[in-house]
Amino acid sequence: MSNILIIKHGSLGDIAQASGAIQDISENNKNDQIFLLTTKPYFDLYKKNPFIHEVILDKRLPRYNLIYLYFLMRELKKHNFSKVFDLQNSSRTNFYKNILFPKADKIVWSSSITTLPSDKDKEEFDKISVLERFDYQLKESGLNTSSTLKPDFSWASTDISEIKNFYKLDKYILLFPFCSPHLTIKKWPYYNELIEKIYNKYGDGYKIVTVPGPAEIKDAKNINAIAVLDNGRALDISQLTSLIKGSSFVVANDTGPAHITAHTKTKGLTLFGKHTTAYKVSIERENFRAIEVSDLNNLSAEKVFERLINLM
């Protein structure tokens, strides 16, 4: 039995996307111990993943913090990993490779760099979709892949019956009108107009719900929907996943909750401006579709509502 390391730091959407690749790595190495290196927001979450045996915390302190770097590398080296699957594929994780396995090939250290096609440079390779890149990386490292292209994030869910009972949630439509403050280009501004159209058509047939993050609780007061919290606190990722899975439909900006929706087979719709494409981030699924426009300010509530009706 060998020890195998997977590296996946984040973000939330990336965590959901990587679920299939993690499953394939585990199922190709059933007699080995699977470790995962991640950051604090996902440390406890990954402990629930059935394909991971142990989770290691990376605080991602600056690389010039030599004391931290020394102890992290010592922690990793003590497990004597026979293989590393770098699913983060960042400059930081490539830096780790140069310390731990400077001469390793794609069989020992699997990354987008070590498995890069001979006829492409990394910038060109990164233009293909996220899941296709994962799939190519794992196959080039000798793995059979059956789940990488169809990740299932359902493992992250938990029991939220108390929360649903508190808010009397049975049939509900879930909206995610928020985004990171530095990514306002992803924000569609007409959620209240959409809510009015939903109520005009369905009346009390569905409750309209939103789930603000810790920094979004104040902003949620501007949305004409029920803001679901857990005793005044933002829901954690497992609670959020369960709420998404139980919804009748989701409408979201291109954020982490949209990716959770896509990879839990939940019906929904995500809204894309010019910041990227639905193809590149591998977000469209059978039950989850995207509207892509050059400017979200010009995407009307009527058009979103029409797609919602057709997809529900």
Q: Is the pLDDT of residue 33 over 90?
A: yes
Q: pLDDT value at position 284?
A: 95
Q: What is the mean pLDDT of residues 8-33?
A: 96
Q: What is the mean pLDDT of residues 148-174?
A: 97
pLDDT in tens, 265-293: 999 999 999 888 999 999 999 999 999 99
pLDDT in tens, 93-143: 999 999 999 999 999 999 999 999 888 788 888 888 999 999 999 999 999
Q: Which residues pair with 86 in a beta bridge?
A: 7
**Domains in the chain: boundaries:** 3-152, 162-311
* Order of all β-strands in the sheet with 207-210: 226-227, 207-210, 172-176, 249-253, 268-272, 288-292
Q: Is the pLDDT of residue 3 over 90?
A: yes
Q: pLDDT value at position 217?
A: 93
CA geometry: angle at 295 spanning 291 and 300, to 5°?
60
**Mean pLDDT value across the chain:** 95
Q: pLDDT value at position 49?
A: 98
Residue 77, Ramachandran bin (φ over 0: left; ψ between -120 and 50: alpha; else beta): alpha
Residues 228 and 243: beta-carbon distance below 8 Å: yes
Q: pLDDT value at position 124?
A: 82
- Distance from C-alpha of 94 to C-alpha of 64, rounded to nearest angstrom: 15
Superfamily of domain 162-311: Glycogen Phosphorylase B; (3.40.50.2000)
Q: pLDDT value at position 10?
A: 87
pLDDT in tens, 41-71: 999 999 999 999 999 999 999 999 999 999 9
- φ, ψ at 249 (rounded to 5°): -165, 150
Domain 3-152 = CATH 3.40.50.300: no
Q: pLDDT value at position 184?
A: 76
Q: pLDDT value at position 185?
A: 83
Residues 6 or more apart in contact with residue 120 via CB below 8 angstroms: none
pLDDT in tens, 195-244: 999 999 999 999 999 999 999 999 999 999 999 999 999 999 999 999 99
- Distance from C-alpha of 218 to C-alpha of 25, rounded to nearest angstrom: 41
Same fold flag, 3-152 and 162-311: yes
Q: Within 13 Å of residue 257, how many CA atoms lie on the same side as its CB?
A: 29
Residues 261 and 252: beta-carbon distance below 8 Å: yes
Q: Is the pLDDT of residue 154 over 90?
A: yes
Q: pLDDT value at position 221?
A: 93
Q: Is the pLDDT of residue 80 over 80?
A: yes
Q: What is the mean pLDDT of residues 72-100?
A: 96
Q: pLDDT value at position 212?
A: 95
Q: pLDDT value at position 222?
A: 94
Q: Is the pLDDT of residue 176 over 80?
A: yes
Q: pLDDT value at position 182?
A: 74
**Helices 66-77 and 91-100, axial angle in degrees (round to 10):** 60
* pTM: predicted TM-score of the whole model, two decimal places: 0.93
